[in-house]
Amino acid sequence: MSWIIEKSHRELARIREAKEKQVYPYFKAFESGGIHSSINGQPILNFSSNDYLGLTTHPKVKEASIEAVKRFSCGLSSSRVQATTTAHVELEERLANWYGYESCLLFTTGYQAMVGTIAALADQDTTLVLDNLSHACILDGTFMAAGTPRMAPEVRFFNHNSARSLRRILSTRERKNAMVLLEGIYSLDGDEATIEELCKAASEFENTVIVCDDAHGTGTLGKGGRGIFEKYDLRPQLPVIVSTFSKTFGGIGGILLGPKDVVDHVKHNARSFLFSASLPVPIVAAAATILDMLEDHGEELVAELHKKADYMRTNLTGLGFDLGLSNTHIMPVMCRDERKALFTHVAMMESGVMMVPITYPGVKKGEERLRLNVTRGHSYEDMDKALELLKIYGEAFFILGGDELAPMEE
């Protein structure tokens, strides 16, 4: 037991230091839901939320969840193998129809959906081809598959969003089949996949299929919010889509979309599905209610989000902020220094605005940033407040101007 304690203590050194200096930024406890909340009694305006269409706290969504609790209780105390309800089946059918795919399967989380799909489909005849900025769920699914006896696929990485690099990897792969793993929007950098170019590159090679994690594209891309395949009219080129309920759909849960046989295969082989608790029906009811809203008003909701994102982007760049690779509603405010990111976060929090810092090892050293997500739920007054504070603290901590901070006294 002692070695576990010693290891943990040693590897927590950076976190202890941040807490001692009162700049530790994570696991703050909100006292209510929504963009406007509070922490320790202080009002907080949250700009790190993934509630992109601002529907999580809608009264109809809450009401649907409450009614589901009355009918089914909070949970089902078992896996989907013996705890599937009519609510699960109905929502799977509706989602398949809304997205335009043959079949759908609901997981307990989006992370589990991606991990389980990769591990269920990859085998010794597969080369898994990953963007080098892939999300942890793609990496972990890949490593799980690679570490499974008698399955072990080949694993290769291509340069971020580079069709040329993808072609080079596919042309030198060692296995018969290839699965290219992409994201619709890369969540740390806020940039879309160069999806048309990547699909074209993949189509030039036999036995090559694309699996796309579109967690951040659902509700934000495409005219009706169906995601990146809708925006670029690429459904045939993107036969398997994974998404989530933890962003636009305001809860937790994973979505797998694809051909019926593929979805059925994952259903009967993904350990993260078979050996995990069934998605609680109150969450299913909430997602079904948000789907109602997307069916009825999706175009209006997405258009409003884009209008607000354009406003924020125009003003941020006008002030001189570096937004990195971003071309979406996710706008990393690049600080390129850990202390600048941490100090600015603390100052913003003290002024009632939350933008979570992303530092090493979440990003490479020199690429530290504040996470700024614009949502439909933000008002123009909210954005103006954030812009005013960013200008003040961006200048104070040399994010604007690029000078170095003075060394801290010991």
Total structural domains within the chain: 2
Q: Quick check: is 71 in a domain?
A: no
Q: Quick check: is 401 in a domain?
A: no
307 and 274, same domain (yes or no): no
Which residues form the domain of 34?
Answer: 17-56+298-396
- Domain end call among 248, 279, 310: 279
- Domain end call among 251, 279, 307: 279
Mean pLDDT of 259-275: 97
303 and 246, same domain (yes or no): no
Cα dihedral 261, 263, 268, 269, rounded to 10, equals: 110
For residue range 355-377, what is the model confidence (pLDDT) as tens digits? Answer: 999 999 999 999 999 999 999 99
Question: CATH number of the domain that 213 lies in?
Answer: 3.40.640.10
Whether 401 has a pLDDT exceeding 80, the answer reads: no
Mean pLDDT of 187-204: 98
Give phi and psi for 133, each to the nearest 5.
-110, 25
Confidence at 410, pLDDT banded by 50, 70, 90: very low
248 and 133, same domain (yes or no): yes
46 and 92, same domain (yes or no): no
Q: Quick check: is 386 in a domain?
A: yes
Strand 240-244 versus strand 254-258 pairing type: antiparallel
What was the pLDDT predicted at 363? 94
What was the pLDDT predicted at 365? 94
Mean pLDDT of 247-260: 96
What was the pLDDT predicted at 250? 83
Residue 302 and residue 231 in contact, taking contact as beta carbons nearer than 8 Å: no
What was the pLDDT predicted at 31? 94
Question: CATH number of the domain that 330 lies in?
Answer: 3.90.1150.10
Side chain identity, residue 233: D
Q: Quick check: is 409 in a domain?
A: no
Q: What are the residues whose beta carbons fall under 8 Å from the beta carbon of 409, sequence distance 6 or more?
A: none
Q: Quick check: is 288 in a domain?
A: no
Confidence at 407, pLDDT banded by 50, 70, 90: low
Q: Quick check: is 273 in a domain?
A: yes
Q: Quick check: is 403 in a domain?
A: no
- Mean pLDDT computed over every residue of the chain: 95
For the chain, the residue count is 410
What was the pLDDT predicted at 149? 86
Q: Quick check: is 159 in a domain?
A: yes
207 and 327, same domain (yes or no): no
Measure the CA–CA gap between 156 and 205, rounded to whole angstroms.
16
For residue range 62-119, what is the model confidence (pLDDT) as tens digits? Answer: 999 999 999 999 999 899 999 999 999 999 999 999 999 999 999 999 999 999 999 9
Q: Where are the alpha helices (DSSP H) in 175-246?
A: 195-203, 228-231
Strand 185-186 versus strand 191-192 pairing type: antiparallel
What was the pLDDT predicted at 151? 87
